[in-house]
Amino acid sequence: MKKTLIIPFKTIDKEIINHLGKKITEILGYKVVVNKEQISIPSSRKIGLQLFAEDLFPTLRGELMKTDADAVLGIIDKDLYAENFNFIFGLAYSDCSLISLHRLISEDKELFYTRAVKEAIHELGHLAGLGHCPNISCVMHFSNGLGDTDIKNETFCTKCDKRFRSRGR
Protein backbone atom coordinates (compact mmCIF):
# COMPACT_ATOMS: atom_id res chain seq x y z
CA MET A 1 0.00 0.00 0.00
CA LYS A 2 1.42 3.37 -1.00
CA LYS A 3 1.83 6.01 1.65
CA THR A 4 0.97 9.64 0.93
CA LEU A 5 2.04 12.55 3.10
CA ILE A 6 -0.37 15.49 3.21
CA ILE A 7 1.39 18.78 3.85
CA PRO A 8 -0.83 21.76 4.57
CA PHE A 9 0.64 25.19 3.92
CA LYS A 10 -0.08 27.79 6.59
CA THR A 11 -3.73 27.94 7.69
CA ILE A 12 -5.62 25.05 6.09
CA ASP A 13 -8.62 23.90 8.13
CA LYS A 14 -8.02 20.52 9.80
CA GLU A 15 -11.51 19.35 8.87
CA ILE A 16 -10.82 19.50 5.13
CA ILE A 17 -7.38 17.91 5.62
CA ASN A 18 -8.97 14.98 7.46
CA HIS A 19 -11.73 14.70 4.84
CA LEU A 20 -9.17 14.57 2.03
CA GLY A 21 -7.16 11.93 3.88
CA LYS A 22 -10.23 9.73 4.31
CA LYS A 23 -11.28 10.08 0.67
CA ILE A 24 -7.76 9.38 -0.65
CA THR A 25 -7.69 6.15 1.37
CA GLU A 26 -11.22 5.24 0.30
CA ILE A 27 -10.73 5.95 -3.43
CA LEU A 28 -7.07 5.09 -4.03
CA GLY A 29 -6.38 2.66 -1.20
CA TYR A 30 -3.40 4.73 -0.03
CA LYS A 31 -2.32 5.08 3.56
CA VAL A 32 -2.38 8.79 4.41
CA VAL A 33 -0.26 10.60 6.97
CA VAL A 34 -0.73 14.28 7.74
CA ASN A 35 2.34 16.39 8.47
CA LYS A 36 2.33 17.29 12.16
CA GLU A 37 2.74 20.99 11.47
CA GLN A 38 1.43 23.29 8.79
CA ILE A 39 4.43 24.73 7.01
CA SER A 40 5.17 28.28 5.94
CA ILE A 41 4.78 29.27 2.32
CA PRO A 42 8.25 29.65 0.78
CA SER A 43 9.17 32.63 -1.33
CA SER A 44 7.83 32.30 -4.83
CA ARG A 45 7.65 34.18 -8.08
CA LYS A 46 4.35 36.03 -8.23
CA ILE A 47 1.97 37.59 -10.68
CA GLY A 48 -0.22 39.82 -8.55
CA LEU A 49 -1.28 37.63 -5.64
CA GLN A 50 -0.76 34.36 -7.52
CA LEU A 51 2.16 32.12 -6.61
CA PHE A 52 4.22 30.19 -9.16
CA ALA A 53 3.34 26.61 -8.21
CA GLU A 54 6.64 25.01 -9.16
CA ASP A 55 8.48 27.20 -6.64
CA LEU A 56 6.70 25.29 -3.84
CA PHE A 57 7.94 21.86 -4.95
CA PRO A 58 11.43 22.01 -3.37
CA THR A 59 9.77 22.62 0.01
CA LEU A 60 7.34 19.72 -0.55
CA ARG A 61 10.16 17.40 -1.65
CA GLY A 62 12.25 18.43 1.36
CA GLU A 63 9.41 17.53 3.73
CA LEU A 64 8.81 14.24 1.89
CA MET A 65 12.47 13.27 2.26
CA LYS A 66 12.13 13.46 6.05
CA THR A 67 9.55 10.64 5.99
CA ASP A 68 9.03 7.13 4.65
CA ALA A 69 6.09 8.25 2.48
CA ASP A 70 6.06 7.47 -1.24
CA ALA A 71 4.49 10.75 -2.34
CA VAL A 72 3.34 14.10 -1.04
CA LEU A 73 0.18 16.16 -1.53
CA GLY A 74 0.59 19.81 -0.62
CA ILE A 75 -2.54 21.83 0.11
CA ILE A 76 -2.54 25.61 -0.12
CA ASP A 77 -5.25 28.26 -0.03
CA LYS A 78 -3.40 30.70 -2.30
CA ASP A 79 -4.08 31.14 -6.01
CA LEU A 80 -1.51 29.40 -8.22
CA TYR A 81 -0.25 29.68 -11.77
CA ALA A 82 2.16 27.60 -13.83
CA GLU A 83 4.13 27.89 -17.04
CA ASN A 84 1.65 28.52 -19.91
CA PHE A 85 -1.37 28.63 -17.55
CA ASN A 86 -2.85 31.78 -16.03
CA PHE A 87 -4.19 29.68 -13.14
CA ILE A 88 -4.17 26.07 -12.02
CA PHE A 89 -6.15 23.99 -9.55
CA GLY A 90 -3.19 21.70 -8.99
CA LEU A 91 0.09 20.37 -10.30
CA ALA A 92 1.99 17.08 -10.05
CA TYR A 93 5.58 16.20 -10.81
CA SER A 94 7.63 13.14 -9.92
CA ASP A 95 6.61 12.27 -6.33
CA CYS A 96 5.11 15.66 -5.41
CA SER A 97 1.65 17.06 -5.99
CA LEU A 98 -0.02 20.27 -4.96
CA ILE A 99 -3.59 21.54 -4.97
CA SER A 100 -4.91 25.03 -4.40
CA LEU A 101 -8.21 25.47 -2.59
CA HIS A 102 -8.41 29.13 -3.64
CA ARG A 103 -10.66 28.73 -6.72
CA LEU A 104 -12.54 25.72 -5.34
CA ILE A 105 -14.23 27.60 -2.50
CA SER A 106 -18.01 27.64 -2.42
CA GLU A 107 -20.57 28.73 0.16
CA ASP A 108 -21.83 25.16 -0.17
CA LYS A 109 -19.36 23.28 2.07
CA GLU A 110 -20.17 19.89 0.51
CA LEU A 111 -19.48 21.24 -2.99
CA PHE A 112 -16.19 22.78 -1.80
CA TYR A 113 -15.08 19.49 -0.22
CA THR A 114 -16.09 17.50 -3.32
CA ARG A 115 -14.08 19.83 -5.55
CA ALA A 116 -11.04 19.48 -3.29
CA VAL A 117 -11.29 15.68 -3.37
CA LYS A 118 -11.52 15.67 -7.17
CA GLU A 119 -8.42 17.83 -7.52
CA ALA A 120 -6.46 15.77 -4.97
CA ILE A 121 -7.35 12.46 -6.65
CA HIS A 122 -6.56 13.99 -10.07
CA GLU A 123 -3.07 15.11 -9.05
CA LEU A 124 -2.31 11.84 -7.24
CA GLY A 125 -3.49 10.06 -10.39
CA HIS A 126 -0.79 11.92 -12.30
CA LEU A 127 1.78 10.75 -9.75
CA ALA A 128 0.59 7.19 -10.44
CA GLY A 129 1.39 7.70 -14.12
CA LEU A 130 -2.04 8.60 -15.47
CA GLY A 131 -2.47 11.32 -18.08
CA HIS A 132 -5.53 13.39 -18.87
CA CYS A 133 -8.60 11.44 -19.94
CA PRO A 134 -11.07 12.45 -22.69
CA ASN A 135 -14.00 11.10 -20.62
CA ILE A 136 -15.59 14.23 -19.09
CA SER A 137 -16.88 12.30 -16.08
CA CYS A 138 -13.47 10.80 -15.22
CA VAL A 139 -11.54 12.47 -12.42
CA MET A 140 -8.52 12.52 -14.76
CA HIS A 141 -10.29 14.79 -17.26
CA PHE A 142 -8.52 18.17 -17.54
CA SER A 143 -10.40 21.03 -15.86
CA ASN A 144 -10.33 24.35 -17.70
CA GLY A 145 -12.62 25.79 -15.04
CA LEU A 146 -14.93 24.89 -12.18
CA GLY A 147 -17.62 23.72 -14.60
CA ASP A 148 -15.31 20.92 -15.74
CA THR A 149 -14.45 20.04 -12.15
CA ASP A 150 -18.09 19.98 -11.09
CA ILE A 151 -19.11 17.65 -13.94
CA LYS A 152 -16.54 14.96 -13.29
CA ASN A 153 -16.67 12.23 -10.67
CA GLU A 154 -14.31 11.75 -7.72
CA THR A 155 -13.18 8.45 -9.22
CA PHE A 156 -11.49 7.10 -12.34
CA CYS A 157 -13.41 5.91 -15.37
CA THR A 158 -13.11 2.20 -16.17
CA LYS A 159 -10.09 2.68 -18.46
CA CYS A 160 -8.17 4.90 -16.05
CA ASP A 161 -9.03 2.66 -13.10
CA LYS A 162 -7.62 -0.32 -15.01
CA ARG A 163 -4.42 1.63 -15.78
CA PHE A 164 -4.15 2.78 -12.16
CA ARG A 165 -4.51 -0.75 -10.79
CA SER A 166 -2.12 -2.21 -13.38
CA ARG A 167 0.59 0.19 -12.18
CA GLY A 168 0.39 -1.25 -8.68
CA ARG A 169 -1.17 1.96 -7.42
Question: How big is the CA angle at 148 (ends 50 and 115), to the nearest 5 degrees?
Answer: 65
Given the residues 26, 54, 107, 123, select the one marked as catalytic: 123
CA distance 27 to 102: 23
CB of 160 within 8 A of CB of 125? yes
Concerning whether 63 is annotated as a catalytic residue, the answer is: no
Distance from the Cα of residue 28 to its chain's centroid: 13
Beta pairing class for 90-93 and 96-100: antiparallel
CA distance 48 to 96: 25
Instruction: Return the active site residues.
Output: 123
